[in-house]
Amino acid sequence: MVILPALAAIIKTVKASEKETIFMIGAQPNANDSDNTREASFCELLSRTGCITVGLSGSDSYMPRVGFWKKIGGYFGVGDKPS
């Protein structure tokens, strides 16, 4: 999972492994805070194959990396839109 910078700045990762990442978004409870009534929202994202990229709408921007064959095709003009 790829977490884009603006979202990464406001999360706290609870658990991370190769197959899953659990994180909390927003204000984190203080360890000394006696108020344990805070609610949490959860979202589950699944992918059988491939990588998931998440970010903060309006703050993060995603630019996919261009692969080798796409670069070669661009060099020869393959896939260009007709004018």
With a cut of 80, say whether residue 69 has pLDDT above it.
no
Task: Give the residue, 29 or 54, on which the prediction is more confident.
Answer: 54
Q: With H, G, I as helix, E, B as strand and everything else as coil, classify residue 53.
A: strand
pTM of the entire predicted model: 0.57
Q: Which two tokens stand for residue 62?
A: 């995603």
Map 12-24 to HEC letters.
Answer: EEEEECCCCEEEE
The token pair at 29 is 């409870």
Q: Which of 41-45, 51-55, 60-64 has the lowest mean pLDDT?
A: 41-45
Among residues 2, 14, 17, 18, the alpha carbon closest in space to that of 54 is found at 2
pLDDT band, very low/low/confident/very high, at 29 (cuts 50, 70, 90):
low
CB 3 within 8 A of CB 55: yes
pLDDT of residue 81: 55
